[in-house]
Structure 1
Amino acid sequence: MKVVKFGGSSVADANQIRKITGIIEDDSKRKVIVVSAPGKRYAEDTKTTDLLIELGKSIKNDQMDSQIYEQIIERFSSMTAELELEEQVLHTIKSRIDEAVTQLQSKQKNAMDALKSCGEDGSALMLSAYLKTQGHTSSYVNPKDAGILVSDQPGGALVMDESFDKLYGLREREGILVIPGFFGYTPEGSLVTFSRGGSDITGSIVAAGVQAELYENFTDVDSVFCVNPAIVENPKQLLSLTYKEMRELSYAGFSVFHDEALIPAFKKKIPVCIKNTNNPQGNGTMIVADLPEREEHVVGIASDKGFLNLYVSKYLMNRELGFGRKLLQILEEEEISFEHAPSGIDDMSVIIREHHLSAEKEMKVMDRIKQELDVDTVNIERDMAMIMLVGEGMNQTVGIASQAAEAFRKANVNIEMINQGSSEVSMMFGVHSDALSAAVKSLYHTFFE
């Protein structure tokens, strides 16, 4: 049995629905299908989930935007009409949207999550209905019926362990099962969504639960590239990666996968294949548990902007018991999560995503650090970018750091921060955002050309 997930671009319109039906028909093992909400049909288009979020915001402000509402309904109406589906399909989709709108208007708990989930729910209802018109035994399976139990954390749900035993029961069902991604239910019955991009999480959870032989994730690219193609033209394609490598790459700016998505599949050691809906015969990229044989030690270069460096210096910091804990406790109390914390004898840097530390909160944090920790220096440097070299076995290979440093020198880029720590698969560099492109191009030339 294979679990197949189709992303937003794969269910963007009626033609794409027909296309993925052909992909499902090409392999009888593709028995469990997970779908995203309809994505962009063209560059200037708006994703269905974004429309639902905007509608929700307008309702929260007591000014429901009827134009956005009609736009959402028309999106589903045109698709169901073009696919020649029964009117009941559109009626069901519309009634679920209307129910979520009513919940939000009456300020019910988790109502915004219920509204956000309507895109995926609509995709699943349409695909299962269309499969039936093509002569297949198919059924829509709500995540509650599938057994996807999650924590009650709106917009950031975590799957519960008991879900996997419940999901295994799907193997007994007949025909093709279509499950909407992105959401699950609490044990009390409340609908809660995963974080954005969570349909990938659903696919991974379902693949782990049914113990699939393969989890196929269809998107709009032929494979994972070793570097952002927006920075480097025609970069090398990666035919295989390990889970650890993909996790590092996803975290640091690779947009193919949500960075939490592979964890359930990783735990069950289920291989994952990323494929292109528009080129289903392509090899794609395999993501596996064990290191594939290859000569390269660096397999990818990930990069992302939008960081800041909180720098703290204090003489004899290394002898002060609990200094690091106290510093991080201040951040915790101010509800600021951090990414990395490289340190020296008398100084410590904390790398934070800029949106986690607003300009208003910045002065309060700095004042607390000065007063409570009696530091010599504290400053914040914004507009930072992180570049990550990724590859299992890098820490056992001599010369990676020196090659990287030479690449930065050739690009005339100053390294503001370097951190490898205990990671076996990545080495991270901090630079100013305006130097990101030049640094990545030079690193690509060094390690891949």
Structure 2
Amino acid sequence: MKVVKFGGSSVADANQLKKVTEIIKSDAERKVIVVSAPGKRHSKDSKTTDLLIALGESIQVNVQNQVIYDQVINRFASIIKELELDEVILDQIQKRIDDSCQLIKTDIDRGMDAIKSCGEDGTALILSALLQSKELESSYVNPKEAGIFVSDQPGGALVLDESFDHLYELRKRDGVLVIPGFFGFTLEGDLVTFSRGGSDITGSIVAAGMKVDLYENFTDVDSVFCVNPMIVDNPKELKTLTYREMRELSYAGFSVFHDEALIPAFKERIPVCIKNTNNPSGDGTMIVADLPEREGLVAGIASDSGFLNLYVSKYLMNREIGFGRKLLQILEEEGISFEHAPSGIDDMSVIVRDHHLPPEKEEVVIERITKELDVDTISIERDMAMIMLVGEGMNEAIGVANKATTAFRDANVNIDMINQGSSEVSMMFGIKSSQLKKAVQSLYHEFF
């Protein structure tokens, strides 16, 4: 038995949904399907979820944007019409959207989660009906019915352990089950979404709960590449990765997979295969528990911009018990999450996603740290990028750091920060965002 997840590009329009149907029909083991909301049909198009969020935000300021509302409804209407499905499906989708719009007026957090989930829910209703029209036994399964129970954290739900026993019961059901991704329900019955891209998480949760043989994740690329193909032309394809490698790469900028998505599958040691909806016969990339044989110890180079470095220095910091805790506590109290915190004897850097510490909050944070921790120096440096080398066993090899720093030198790029993670599968470098492209290109040349 397989759980199959189709991403936004795979369900973007009627033609893509026809491809999805053929993929499902071609393999009787593809019993459970998890779907995203319709994604972009072309580069200038909007994702359905983005439109739904914009619609919800317009209601928050008491002016429902009718243009956006019509765009969303027309998007689903055109898919349903082209697939020659019953218009009653559109009525169901529209009622769900209307109910969510009303909920925003009385409970913003609940309402916004509800409206954000309408894209995935609509796709699931459409696909289930399409499969039935092709004489394939199929049913739409709401996440509450499936037993996907989550924590009450709007926009950032975590799955609860009791979900997995409920999900296992789905094995007893006949036909193809179509489940909308991205959201679950609290034990009290409230709808809550995962973080953006959370349909990947749903797929992994369902695969783990049902203890299937394989979790297939269909997207719009033939495989995972060892580096961003927007930066390096025709990069090497990766045929096999470990869970840890893929998680590190996803976290550090690989957009193929949500960085939290692999954890449930990893715990159950379920292999994951990333495949292309537009080329379903391709091998794709397998993600497995154990180290695959491969040439070289570096599996991939991930990169992302949009970071800042909060730097503090204080003489004899290493002798001051609790300094790091107090610093991070200030960030916690100000609602700021951090990514990395490399430190020295007298100084400490805290790497933060830029949007977590907006300029308007910067002054408050600096003032609190200066006053409460009595530091000698404090500064915030924005426009930073992170580059991560990832590979199982990399830390056991001699010369990896040397090759990396040589690549930075050859590209004439200064390294602002180096952090070797305790995971033993990654090495991270902080540089100026403006130098990201040439640094990555030089690293690719050095390692691949």
Q: Partner residue of 1:100?
A: 100
**Distance in 2 of aligned mates of 1:265 and 1:417:** 33
Superposition deviation, residue 421 in structure 1: 4.0
**Distance in 1 of aligned mates of 2:434 and 2:97:** 43
**Distance in 1 of aligned mates of 2:94 and 2:373:** 57
**Distance in 2 of aligned mates of 1:376 and 1:105:** 48
- Verify: 1:152 aligned to 2:152, yes or no: yes
Superposition deviation, residue 295 in structure 1: 2.5
**Distance in 1 of aligned mates of 2:375 and 2:105:** 50
Describe the superposition over 1:261-303 as per-residue Cα deviations: whole angstroms up to 9, x where unpaired.
1111111110000000000011100001111112320010000
The alignment partner of 1:110 has SS state of: helix
* Structural mapping, 1:186-205, within 5 Å: 186-205=186-205
**Distance in 2 of aligned mates of 1:31 and 1:275:** 17
Q: Partner residue of 2:445?
A: 445
- Verify: 1:338 aligned to 2:333, yes or no: no
Q: Partner residue of 2:269?
A: 269
**Distance in 2 of aligned mates of 1:421 and 1:204:** 25
**Distance in 1 of aligned mates of 2:317 and 2:391:** 33
Q: Partner residue of 1:298?
A: 298
**Distance in 1 of aligned mates of 2:377 and 2:270:** 49
Give the RMSD, CA atoms, in angstroms. 1.0
**Quick one: which amino acid aligns to residue 316 of structure 1?**
L
TM-score by length of 1: 0.98
- Verify: 1:113 aligned to 2:121, yes or no: no
Q: Is the 2:307–2:384 contact (alpha carbons within 8 Å) kept by the matching residues of 1?
A: yes
Structure 1 outlier segments of 4+, above 6 Å = none
**Distance in 2 of aligned mates of 1:235 and 1:62:** 48
**Quick one: which amino acid aligns to residue 272 of structure 1?**
V
The alignment partner of 1:139 has SS state of: strand
* Structural mapping, 1:216-255, within 5 Å: 216-255=216-255
**Distance in 2 of aligned mates of 1:333 and 1:107:** 25
* Structural mapping, 1:26-425, within 5 Å: 26-107=26-107, 110-425=110-425
How many residues matched? Answer: 448
Describe the superposition over 1:68-87 as per-residue Cα deviations: whole angstroms up to 9, x where unpaired.
11111111111111111112
**Distance in 2 of aligned mates of 1:204 and 1:260:** 9
**Quick one: which amino acid aligns to residue 105 of structure 1?**
K
Superposition deviation, residue 372 in structure 1: 1.4
**Distance in 1 of aligned mates of 2:329 and 2:107:** 34
Superposition deviation, residue 107 in structure 1: 3.5
**Quick one: which amino acid aligns to residue 351 of structure 2?**
I
The alignment partner of 2:160 has SS state of: coil
**Quick one: which amino acid aligns to residue 383 of structure 2?**
D
Report the identity percentage.
73
**Quick one: which amino acid aligns to residue 22 of structure 1?**
E
**Distance in 1 of aligned mates of 2:434 and 2:68:** 37
**Distance in 2 of aligned mates of 1:154 and 1:207:** 23
Describe the superposition over 1:4-57 as per-residue Cα deviations: whole angstroms up to 9, x where unpaired.
000011111111111110000111000000000011111111111111111111
**Distance in 1 of aligned mates of 2:43 and 2:30:** 30
Distance change (3 Å), C-alpha of 1:211 and 1:310: same
Describe the superposition over 1:406-442 as per-residue Cα deviations: whole angstroms up to 9, x where unpaired.
1111011111100104231000001111111111000
**Distance in 2 of aligned mates of 1:116 and 1:423:** 34
TM-score by length of 2: 0.99
Distance change (3 Å), C-alpha of 1:108 and 1:44: closer
* Unmatched tracts of structure 1, length 5 or more: none
* Unmatched tracts of structure 2, length 5 or more: none
The alignment partner of 2:335 has SS state of: coil
Q: Is the 2:60–2:108 contact (alpha carbons within 8 Å) kept by the matching residues of 1?
A: no
**Quick one: which amino acid aligns to residue 250 of structure 1?**
S
**Distance in 2 of aligned mates of 1:108 and 1:358:** 23
**Distance in 1 of aligned mates of 2:88 and 2:234:** 46
**Distance in 2 of aligned mates of 1:73 and 1:333:** 41
Describe the superposition over 1:152-184 as per-residue Cα deviations: whole angstroms up to 9, x where unpaired.
111111100000000001100000000000000
The alignment partner of 2:331 has SS state of: helix
**Quick one: which amino acid aligns to residue 386 of structure 2?**
M
